[in-house]
Amino acid sequence: MLTKEELPYCPVATTVDLIGNKWKLLILRELLAGTKRFSELKRAVDGISQKVLTENLRALERDGIVDRVVYPVIPPKVEYSLSELGDSLRPIITAMQAWGTNYILNKEELKAESAPE
């Protein structure tokens, strides 16, 4: 967890430091839909390797955004979910989802205009 002294003073920069990379944003998208096992996340986040997924989950856990629960069974079962802090990021992902949806829609409209039927 970062201490206050290590944090940049700009709120946007603070947020960017914690979740401002491709993989973390996509992992958050998945966990906002609910608790997921490691293998589920691996399947859901397209193109991510096991190593990178692990690294990002560790970072999110360290920063108090993700909770990790290990079930002592065989074979191992580990569940990841958002902490309260993590869930509070929802508006950011929601805004990105809304923008992306619009972007794709407008793109298709333009395509339909320039090449009707």
Partner DNA sequence: CTGAATCCATACCGATACTG
Partner DNA sequence: CAGTATCGGTATGGATTCAG
The one of its own copies, DNA, none whose footprint includes residue 37, by CB under 5 to 8 A per kind, is: DNA
By CB under 7 A, tell whether 32 contacts DNA: no
Q: Under the rule (CB under 8 A), what is the footprint of its own copies?
A: 4-5, 7-16, 18, 20-22, 25-26, 29, 33, 44, 46, 85, 88-89, 91-104, 107-108, 111
Under 8 Å between Cβ of 91 and 33: no
Please state the closest distance from residue 77 (CB atom) to its own copies, in A: 22
The one of DNA, its own copies, none whose footprint includes residue 16, by CB under 5 to 8 A per kind, is: its own copies
Q: What are the CA-CA distances from residue 61 to residues 75, 96, 102 (Å)?
A: 22, 22, 32
The one of its own copies, DNA, none whose footprint includes residue 97, by CB under 5 to 8 A per kind, is: its own copies
Contact pick of 15, 21, 97, 106 for DNA (by CB under 7 A): 21
Please state the closest distance from residue 73 (CB atom) to its own copies, in A: 27
3-state secondary structure 33-46: CCCEEHHHHHHHCC
